[in-house]
Structures are given as structure tokens and as C-alpha cells.
Amino acid sequence: MDIVRPEFVPDASLSTAEMEALQRDIADVAVFSDDFTFDPDAVALGGPAGQQTLGEQGDEHAAGDRPLVAGVDQAFVGDRAVSAVVVLRGREVVERVWAVEPAEIPYVPGLLSFREGGAILSAFGALDCEPDVVFVDGSGRIHYREAGLATHIGVTLDVPAVGVAKNLLCGEPTESLDRKLPEGARVPIEADARVETSVASGAQRADGDAVDATEGTVIGYAVQSRQYESDSQYINPLVVSPGHRVSAETAADLVLATAAGYKLPEPTRLADSYADSVKGEL
């Protein structure tokens, strides 16, 4: 899979200000609406685990008609990032690859792509197939500058991308998430207000936890992909946001369509497992 926009390849040698400026350039190019040719209904896994003939049991989408859905996740071995990509068609794994690159900077909230992006792009470069959509373990538009890891990778490869994060980086849920949500529920996450402060040199924008998007814009959803039946415990929702060429609503739909009884959607769950396996070998 080729890089389409080489000017956006993460460069860990940039200063923090330069990284943030690049992210804003990426956000200007990113498309946070549906811009793809595959049928999103065909992304659903269809049938029980292990089923080989996905067109059976009333499933209107035959195996060959299903889009290619890639999941990508990372593991770390010392100061090296291990990126694993697993590509599914329905439940069938059609390809999996991995790559290792130095993690040249420490983890900094909001700058994850400059730590992990090189390994991810190297792994996608080893793919023979061209995924129709990519699920990234990280944020998309739910990011201070609307350019999280999923957006950075999606725009650089110009591929529809969905960010699937475990924690909320920024933005404001329209309802409290500190409670048990039913399986299948989704709570909109909106951009919140910026704080403007006057200083001697002029107006200074204080980022805090706010987002560049207009206040009130729905930038993603908290998605309850799985939930316990017991009232005494509950599973926290995933934080899902559009990366590139996918709307917030469709991103949530795709995650729920690929949940197979686990919290993580199947593409990223398998990528997570594969990354850990490669890490063990290394």
C-alpha cells in the first residue's frame, strides 16, 4: 500500500510547535464525511465465528462482495514500536503483516502519531492488498487539533479510517459516561469551547482539553460495543471518531457492526493479538 501524501509522513525530529502545525494542516485536508465506494452494511461480520461461507444463513452479502477491513495496533519492545496490520473480509483473515521502527520520542498526549506513525506506515507498505477501510487503535477527530493517529494515517494513505480509542482525549460527552450503558448504545461527543487569554503580545489560545472544531460539533461517539449482564459491574465504552473519509455516525456504525462479542471490534482485536505475538517472538 503506497503513501499518497508524503508531506504528512510523521517526522519525530520536528519541534512540538512544528508537529502541532503539521497536524492542523492534516486536519484541513481530512474529510470527516462519508467518501467511500464500499457498502458499509457489508462490513458486518455475518454469522457465527468460524463460519466460512458468509453468504449463508440469510446473509445477503457473499464473501467476495465484502469490503476489506484492516485493523492496526502497536506493541513495544524496548524503544522499538511494533505495528501489526490484520486485514479481514468478513471473518476471514486475508492478510497480516508487521513492521518494527524506532520509537524516537516518548509518549506525549496529542502527538502519538509522531511516536508510532512510522511503524504503522511501514506495516501498511508491506501489504499486498488495498483495504477499503482501516480501524486504528487511537483517536481520529477526537483530538485537540482534529488530527489524531487515525486521521494522520488515514490522510497520509488517503484511505477511509476510523479511530478506536479506549480513553477520551478531549471533547465533551452529551451524557455522563460514568454509568452502565446498554450494549449498542452510543453517546455523542462534542467539541468544547476554547479559552482565549489576552497577553502583552496579543491573544493567546489556551488549548487545555478543547478541540479546534466549532463548539457543539459532534466529533465522535462513546460506543458501547459490549456490556456485562450483571448489575454489579460494567464495561466502559470505546471512544470512536472519524479518521478520514468517514463520518462520525458511520464510524460508530462500523465499530458496532464488527463487534464479535468482545469490547474491541474484530479488526483491532486481532491486530492487538498479532502485535503481542510478534512482540513475543522479538
User: What is the three-state SS of 16-32?
Assistant: HHHHHHHHHHHHHHCCC
- Do residues 278 and 97 lie in contact, with contact meaning Cβ atoms separated by under 8 Å? no
CA–CA gap between residue 131 and residue 172 (Å, rounded): 32
Tell me if 81 sits within 8 A of 115, measured CB to CB: yes
How far is Cα 130 from Cα 158, in angstroms, rounded to an integer?
Answer: 11
Geometric angle at alpha carbon 103, from 222 and 150, rounded to 5°: 30
C-alpha cell at 116: 508510532
Does residue 272 have a known ligand-binding role? Answer: no
d(CA 141, CA 219): 6
Tell whether 73 is in a known binding site.
yes
| Coarse DSSP helix, strand, coil percentages of the chain, rounded to the nearest 5 percent | 25, 25, 50
Could you tell me if 224 and 212 are in contact, meaning their C-beta atoms sit under 8 angstroms apart? no
* C-beta separation of 196 from 205 below 8 A: yes
Dihedral sign from CA coordinates of 161, 167, 173, 175: positive
Distance CA 91, CA 110 (A): 33
Residues in the annotated binding site: 73, 137
Indicate the annotated binding residues for Mg(2+). Answer: 73, 137
